[in-house]
Amino acid sequence: MACDCMHIPHRYDDSLSTPLDLLPLPNGSWGGKIAYLDRDGVLNKGSENYINNPDELVILPGVPDSIAALRESGFRICVVTNQSPIGRGLWTSENLDSIHEKMRMLLLEENSNAHLDLILYSPYPPWYGAWARKPNPGMLEAGRQIITAAENNDEINLKFGPEWINRPDESSSVMVGDRGVDMDAAFNFGVRGLQCDPEKGLPDVISMILGD
């Protein structure tokens, strides 16, 4: 794994190196597609003052069905979210875990196939220049490697930046975000980026992904 000086991603509810348990996709085997999704303004309503606790979390209309549609089309789902309040000392990673636990619960309550395979976050403030913080591609790099290792029953041996060679083709994958930093992260990683309306979120671009 790359040195800590790169400020690598963190993973919801587990360490980066812990094997990931994946639920089967609804329609068969995985062909390598990943939907990398920002969180605020894509899955839930965003706020200029952050989402500070589970009670402030509001899932955008149609998001659970859109996630389910992605999974039915063979996509694994990887959330990649900047969460600098942790690095700023405003609240803890345990608080963020409680928000993500609530998010998963709300999604599955509305659609039982709206499962998030992996949630990664960057706890660092902007001045760290962290590799994990979008517009840098560290979270997307980790997401690809963790999901691929789980699908192949391999050990996780993460590489970042120039250490990671022989990268897989991302032409069938997509990154969805509501801001320019998300699109920059997509560009820096080499995956197609789609910017959505933050008032509509993922459903705003789902037809562009699925080709409907």
Task: With cut-offs at 50, 70 and 90, classify the pLDDT of residue 6.
Answer: confident
> How do residues 162-201 score in pLDDT, each as one tens digit?
999 999 999 999 999 999 999 999 999 999 999 999 999 9
> How do residues 136-165 score in pLDDT, each as one tens digit?
999 999 999 999 999 999 999 999 999 999
Residue 122, helix vs strand vs coil: strand
Catalytic: which of 40, 117, 178, 204? 40
Mean of all residue pLDDT scores within the chain: 95
Contact 140, 36 (CB under 8 A): yes
For residue 37, give the nearest of 140, 187, 160, 144 by alpha carbon: 140
Write down the pLDDT at residue 172: 97
Return the number of other C-beta atoms located less than 10 Å from residue 93's C-beta. 14
d(CA 102, CA 96) in angstroms, rounded, equals: 10
Domain 4-210 has CATH 3.40.50.1000: yes
Q: Which residue has the tokens 């900047």?
A: 82
Write down the pLDDT at residue 45: 98
Contact 77, 36 (CB under 8 A): no
The set of residues, in sequence order, having a beta carbon less than 8 Å from that of 14 and lying 6+ positions away, is none
Catalytic: which of 13, 14, 21, 38? 38
Which token pair is 62?
A: 């149609």
Residue 2, pLDDT > 70, answer no
Is-catalytic flag, 4? no
Is-catalytic flag, 38? yes
Residue 29, pLDDT > 90, answer no
d(CA 72, CA 114) in angstroms, rounded, equals: 10
Residue ranges per domain, the chain?
4-210
